[in-house]
Amino acid sequence: MKGGKTITIIGIIIGMFGLIFHLQGQSIVGPESSFMYANPKWTNYGLQIMVTGIVISGVGFVVLKKKIIFNTEEAFQIFNNF
């Protein structure tokens, strides 16, 4: 399913950005002139962004494997039947 691949790829990209932000906050990666460099807040923000990316990738993987339908009309019909 095309939607599952897209969601998974977006989650991986977000997770990679979170890792970079985390490493910048720890003074491991990036230029010293960056406002994120050696900033403990960005260490925390990077971890939160990374976890968000992992969750989004997990959702995309489940969609890919379970073949969940993301058609809005069918979703409304399913909810209207309850």
pLDDT (0 to 100) of residue 67: 67
pLDDT (0 to 100) of residue 78: 66
Q: Are the C-beta atoms of residues 4 and 61 closer than 8 Å to each other?
A: yes
pLDDT (0 to 100) of residue 16: 97
Nearest to 46 by CA among 64, 34, 63, 61: 34
Nearest to 14 by CA among 57, 45, 60: 57
7 pLDDT more than 60 = yes
- The overall pTM is greater than 0.85: no
Domains of the chain, by residue range, sit at: 2-80
Q: Are the C-beta atoms of residues 70 and 76 closer than 8 Å to each other?
A: no
Round to whole Å and give the CA distance between 44 and 73: 40
